[in-house]
Amino acid sequence: MNTTIKTVLLDLDGTILDTNELIIQSFLHALKDIVPPDFPRKNLIESMGLPLQVQLQQFSGLEDVSHLEAAYRARNKELHDELVCLFPNVLEVMETLHQAGIQIGVVTTKIRMSTERSLKFLQIPDVLGAVITVDDVVNPKPHPEPVLKALEQLEADPATTLMVGDSPVDMISAVKAGVIPVGVAWSLKEEALLWEAGARYMLKDMRDLYEIVGLERKPLAKN
């Protein structure tokens, strides 16, 4: 149990938002004329967490992927409300952390427009002290800049800050920024990859954060 944690930074996609199928469907649509029909979904999963442009360049072999980005975002917008949802217990944990005086921020490689859409659609409570998107930085994760920018906005101490994410790039960014990396076991990526990238803790349930920050976990409601 740790009673010194003052700040919790959260990745979005794959961490608090279940956008996995949305992302996969958007990629398959954008790449339909480039990759074979049996293109393995695991190839897409392995690259999740990197900026969209970088992923599309890797899959297509093209430098200019603006047309692919446009196709991806169009499909993503079309399917967003149908496929995106919150992982279990996210709202409860965010509200509990906020009530306990722990600062909360979001650090994501999504663009700001889609970030704000997701937060609004899923009715994320007004508890976020910082929202850092790929539009706000020069160097996205795994570079430490996004995490460092969130720390700056929140005036937070890296030593008392957690960075929770589902991707090795989240862990690497956290390590480089000097904060405490926390992986999530519901990641489509293997837990081993998160440990190898520097995770200090692994959440099986979002409520596992309570013990890490020094709060008691609420008992399950009786039927």
What's the whole-number mean pLDDT along residues 120-126? 89
pTM of the model: 0.88
pLDDT value of residue 2: 54
Catalytic site positions: 11
Reported in sequence order, the residue ranges of the chain that DSSP labels E, i.e. its strands, are 7-10, 17-18, 85-86, 103-107, 128-132, 161-165, 180-184, 201-203
pLDDT: which is higher, 49 or 195: 195
CATH number of the domain located at residue range(s) 7-18+85-213 in this protein: 3.40.50.1000
Question: What is the maximum span of the chain, computed from C-alpha positions, in angstroms?
Answer: 56
Our CA dihedral for 135, 141, 145, 147, rounded to 10 degrees, sits at 100
Residue-wise burial string across 111-129, b where 16 or more C-beta atoms lie within 10 A, e elsewhere: beebbebbbeebebeebbe
Q: Of 56, 61, 65, whose CA–CA distance to 26 is shortest?
A: 56
**Could you say which DSSP state residue 206 is in?**
G
pLDDT digits (tens, 9 = 90+) for 61-97: 999 999 999 999 999 999 999 999 999 999 999 999 9
